[in-house]
Amino acid sequence: MSISVGDKIPAVKLKTMTAEGMAEVDTSEFFKGKKVVMFAVPGAFTPTCSAKHLPGFVAKADEFKAKGVDEVACVSVNDAFVMDAWGKNQSTDGKVTMLADGNGEFTSALGLEMDGSGFGLGTRSQRYALVADDGVVTALAVEAPGAFEVSSAESVLSKL
């Protein structure tokens, strides 16, 4: 069963890269006391993710802040090194926090995994966006397979 509006974000350890190297991000701390917009992509550097999904959130980062969002984060079932390289490639610094769910534990805990093995991707995350206030999901938009509509930056902004 997948996460729903009203549910608490599960406590899982993610990874991110900092100036000091790889760091652990505890989701219970990351979401605590903040309004967070998190979106997930099936894979870093993949076509829709790189051409539309992540760039939309980078471009609209200031609009999210103006609507009271404390943090915008991108999560993917990729390692922290890949997420860091992708973030640099997409100029996310100071706009979107890049989080790695390398083993898919967070994705699985949310119940939002997908089978990408037909594309050589293995188990990945469905494309989605959520809004959480103090760790509780207040909005959730999960895309239909192959779609990119309800989880775009514009769509999420329209619901804030």
Amino acid at 131: V
User: pLDDT tens, 77-136?
Assistant: 999 999 999 999 999 999 999 999 999 999 999 999 977 777 767 678 999 999 999 999
pLDDT at 51: 84
Spell out a b/e string for 30-41, using b for 16 or more CB atoms within 10 Å of the CB, else e: bbeeebbbbbbb
Can you give the pTM of this predicted structure?
0.94
Pairing of strands 113-115, 35-41: unpaired
| The CATH number of the domain covering residues in 13-147 | 3.40.30.10
* Higher-pLDDT residue of 48, 29: 29
> Of 17, 49, 77, 100, which is the active-site residue?
49
Domain boundaries, the chain: 13-147
User: Mean pLDDT over residues 37-44, rounded?
Assistant: 94
49 is catalytic: yes
Gap between the Cα atoms of 48 and 108, Å rounded: 22
pLDDT at 155 over 90: yes
Please enumerate in sequence order all residues whose Cβ is within 8 A of that of 118, keeping only pairs 6 or more positions apart, or say none: none
